[in-house]
Every structure is written in structure tokens, then in C-alpha cells.
Copies of this chain bind each other. A is one copy, B any other.
Amino acid sequence: MTTAGEEMYALVERLYPLCRSITGDGVRATLDIVGEYVPLQTHEVPTGTQVLDWTVPQEWNIRGAHIADSAGRRVVDFAASSLHVLGYSVPVSATLPLSELRAHLHTLPDHPAWVPYRTSYYKPEWGFCLAQETLDAMPDGEYEVRIDSTLADGHLTYAEHVVPGQVPDEVIVSSHVCHPSLANDNLAGIAVAVFLARALAERTPYYTYRFIFAPGTIGAITWLARNAARVERVKHGLVLACAGDPGRLTYKQSRRGDAEIDRVLRHVLAASERPHHITEFTPYGYDERQFCSPGFDLGVGSLSRTPYSGYPEYHTSADNLDFVSPEAMADTLSVCREAFAVLDRNRHYVNLSPYGEPQLGRRGLYDALGGRSDTKQAQLAMLWVLNLSDGEHALLDVAERSGLPFDTVAAAADALHGAGLIKA
């Protein structure tokens, strides 16, 4: 039997070699594979389309690239890793001395064995990323450089998968799909999103859950520009990124800081007794930057393990298949499921019998034998729900004020609702 963790890891392995960017066939190939797991609606947005303050750029595709020494030996080859080419490199075919080539080479002197990840989306440029060790071993002399890329009018590609709910109000789950061969950032996020979608579909959730697989920044901006009317319906959201590394979970709160999604994640992480971090919103990181821009100010938080830029392997070749694990992804998935289970049931009820306690005993909801000091949690939960169901408090408030598990509180609400004592 294969666990969800192993299945997610297998998906990451399949996606890893592809060269993704903010546009191009690597994104399409990625979405094709994701589409084998959950049905996707794919959108192609033409180059030049105005999206909020931005314009959809030309589409970039690459077939190969290398640096060869004077003996014709390829010292850097895109075929070995998609990281070797500066993202969005313009085509080049030239021979030039190392002294001139250096301006186009990117290395990490502090981690001489690692290849960095670099891009130049909006300024025409070409370049190679390579290990400092490789560069150190390159003798002076002439090198042939060749980048077989095209930058031309085309499309920006993104996809959506929707799990229909009982109400049209939406929860969005967003994962960026623009990073090339980096496992944690963000193939693990994509994989957790995919398996979260499948889990939510097991029974009809309350909310409609919309999964967005789009390139970072420009993709989120494109989605927002094309969904101005839908944004009204987006009640909550979560950005998933860096979901598979060995670090503890980190929830970065929405700009509001007290959005329901913030309260849910704080509650679930605390109740789970996992080591974790809760951080304040910052306007830097992943696509929460766009969802939480002041004009939208959506209740969208971000769940990661080690967050953005917080680990040395970040944006380097060391963010590889060894850096992520089935266990870590399974853990992230588990918290997402717990959080959405709470979010989905977190109703505001109104007590229909608010003057004094209603007599629970004659409705079969309360022990007949009085005097005992060990009142059952289920009964306490009913008293709490009745007391706080004034329209101001949701069930999560009841759980937090009472110290009772959310599940117990939600079950009490179900019982009271069944007895006609509260209404949603």
C-alpha cells in the first residue's frame, strides 16, 4: 500500500526535471502531469494582455544551452540541470574569452558545489548559473556559449481545479508553478495542493475550494485581474510553498492578522502540539503578496515548512529530491486537512432559547443523574455552544474559550442544531 506521502514524493520526482518558468512549455508539461491527478481547467493568456499594473510578457522556451571550452568539452550543460540557464535568457551563440563571459556567470561562492537559481524576466539578458567549483576549474581562454531559446509572443499558462462545495463562497489554495528543478520550492507545494484537493473531494465540503496553479507574481496578478468579480466570493485562502523540507511548519498570517484562516491555522497548529512558528504578514515571500495587497486584502495566509529564503538550500541546486521527504509532505498535508476541516465547520450559530439554559435533560441531551462532579465533555460543550451562540462567536471561538477540542464543540453544535435549539 502506498501512502499519500509516497505518492506526493513520486509526483515531485516526475516534475523535478522539467524546466519551468513564468511562461512556456515547461509550465504546460507540469500542468499536464498534475492533470493526471485532478482535472484542471487550463488558461492561456496572450502576451501583451494588461493585467492590473503589469503586462503579460513574451513566452520563453528553451531547447538547450551549454558552455563549451576550446576543446569542445561542455563544461556547463542545460541538459544536466534546468538551473544552468538564467531564466528568460535571450538566445545567444558566440565565442568569447572567459574574462568577458564572467559577467554572464552566476555562482554561489559560499556554497561552491551548488548551482544558484537566477532569472531576468523583464530585462533582456542571457546568463548561466554554475557551481563556483566549476568556474574555478575553467582556465582562461575562449569559450563557446550557446543558448537555444526563444522569446516570442505567446501565452502565459495557468490552471485551476475546483472542488465544488455546498455554498459558492470560495477558499483558494495557490501554489506557484514557475520554478525549475527545485524540489521544495515549489514541487512539494504543488504535490500537497494536489493531494489536498483529492482529500477534500472525498465528501462535498461546505466551501467551494479553488486550487490555483500559476506562475509566481505575474500568474497571481493575472488570476486576480481576470477574476475581479470572483474575488468577492473568496472568503479564505492559503498559499502553499516549501511544503516538503525537514523544518518545522510555519504559518505566515494574512495581512489582516485576524482573518478566520489565521485563527484556524493558529488553533490547529497549537492544538496539534506540533512544533511550529506563527509569523506576522510581510509583503514579501510568495503570492500572498498579491492576494494581500491593500486593494484586495484577502484573508489569505501562507503555509510552509521552513519559510521563504530561510534555508541555505533555498534557490539552489541543493533544493533537490534529497531535500524533501514523503514524511514532511504528509505532515504538511495533514495540517492542511485538519485546518480545512475546522474552517469548513466553523459556523456562527444563534441560540434560539437564549434566556436561561434550555432544559437539555428533557431533550435527552443531559444526564438525568445530578450531583456528580465529572460532567461529560459533550455536555460542557453544549453549554458552551449555547452560551456563546449570540451571533458574535463562531465555533472556533467556543473551542478556544472553552479549551475543548474543536471536534467536540462541533459535535455539540450538531446535536443542538438537531434538537432545534440553535440555528446557523
Binding site for B on A (CB under 8 A): 52-54, 87, 116-123, 125, 217, 220-221, 224-225, 255, 280, 282-284, 289-290, 292-297, 309, 314-315, 351, 353-359, 361-362, 368-373, 375, 380, 383-384, 386-390, 401-402
Contacts and interface: CB of A to CB of B under 8 A. Distances in A.
A84 to B, nearest CB: 13
A213 to B, nearest CB: 18
A54 B359 contact: yes
B292 A125 contact: no
Contacts of A375: 284
Contact of A283 (B52, B296, B370, B386): B386
A221 B355 CA distance: 9
A53 B123 contact: no
A356 B87 CA distance: 23
Contact of A373 (B54, B309, B390): B309
A339 to B, nearest CB: 24
A217 B87 CA distance: 70
A354 to B, nearest CB: 3
A355 B293 contact: yes
A383 B296 contact: no
Given A123-B361, A315-B371, A369-B118, A355 B296 contact: yes
26 contacts: A52-B353, A53-B357, A53-B359, A54-B359, A87-B370, A118-B372, A120-B368, A122-B359, A122-B362, A123-B368, A217-B357, A221-B357, A255-B387, A283-B383, A283-B386, A284-B383, A290-B357, A294-B354, A294-B388, A294-B389, A294-B390, A295-B351, A295-B354, A314-B373, A315-B371, A315-B373
A53 to B, nearest CB: 4
Contact of A387 (B125, B292, B314, B359): B292
A402 B125 CA distance: 33
Contacts of A123: 361, 368-369
A358 B53 contact: yes
A355 to B, nearest CB: 4
Contact of A224 (B121, B282, B355, B387): B355
A53 B294 CA distance: 48
Contacts of A283: 357, 383-384, 386-388
Nearest to A116: B371
A297 B357 CA distance: 12
Nearest to A389: B294
A390 B297 CA distance: 10
Given A52-B353, A289-B387, A293-B354, 14 more contacts: A52-B355, A122-B359, A122-B362, A125-B368, A220-B356, A225-B356, A282-B402, A284-B383, A293-B386, A294-B387, A295-B354, A295-B355, A297-B390, A315-B373
A116 B374 CA distance: 13
Contact of A293 (B125, B368, B387): B387
A87 to B, nearest CB: 7
A116 B372 CA distance: 9
B356 A221 contact: yes
A116 to B, nearest CB: 7
A356 B223 CA distance: 11
A371 B295 contact: no
A212 B284 CA distance: 46
A255 B387 CA distance: 9
A293 B361 contact: no
A289 B122 contact: no
A171 to B, nearest CB: 20
Contacts of A297: 390
A354 B224 CA distance: 12
